[in-house]
Structure 1
Amino acid sequence: MYGCKAWTISKQIQNKLEATDMWFLRRMPRIPWIAKKTNERVLNEANKRRSLVRTIRKRQATFLGHVMRRGKLEYLVITGKFEGKRSRGRKREKIMDGLARKSIRYTGRRQR
């Protein structure tokens, strides 16, 4: 998760991260893939919740708070406020788009 504060997480990448999280949880108790256990059953057995994407989003939100207060080059890069014309094609996804799409509030309470 080194450098995850600057990752742009699309829906595809989020699905891959969640699959990786489940892979980690299956590897720790050495559950083989032929056991045919559902993800919910593995989570219940481990007494865990999916937390990898949540942790990344939390780190991004705290990093974003630091960057937005400074107002320097990092602020321009994250908000995408550059002068001039933009290139052709679909707009590139920014960190702000990913955080706004999920709109997770981190108040220290459990998410339901």
Structure 2
Amino acid sequence: MYGCEAWTISKQIQNKLEATEMWFLRRMLRIPWTSKKTNERVLNEANKRRSLVRTIRKRQPPFWAT
């Protein structure tokens, strides 16, 4: 997250960040990638919502402040 204030987040980068977040969550819950669980089911098991992109966007200054 270091330097995320200056990141430009395109749709492609946002998708990669969300995939990485899900990978981290599956690793923490020890869910193998071969199991047929949807991302929504994994999020429900962890009682979590996706928050990585939202957190990055909170740390960035508004575009009119630059």
Same fold (TM over 0.5): yes
Q: Which runs of 4+ in 1 moved over 2 A?
A: none
* In 1, Cα distance between equivalents of 2:41 and 2:15: 19
- Unaligned 5+ residue runs, structure 1? 61-112
Q: CA RMSD in A?
A: 0.5
Q: Distance in 2 between matches of 1:2 and 1:23?
A: 20
- Larger RCO (CA within 8 A; separation ≥ 6): 2
Q: Which structure has greater helix proportion?
A: 2
In terms of Rg, which structure is larger? 1
Shift of residue 14 of structure 1? 0.4
Residue aligned with 1:28, SS = helix
Deviation of 1:36 after TM superposition, in Å, equals 1.1
Would you say how many aligned residue pairs link Structure 1 and Structure 2?
60
Residues in 2 aligned to 1:36 and 1:4: alpha-carbon distance in whole angstroms: 33
Q: With structure 2 as the length reference, what TM-score do the two structures score?
A: 0.88
TM-score (norm 1): 0.53
C-alpha deviation, 1:2, in angstroms: 0.9
Offset, 1:29: 1.1
Q: Percent identity?
A: 92
CA offset at residue 53 of structure 1? Answer: 0.1
* Structure 2 unaligned blocks of 5 or more: 61-66
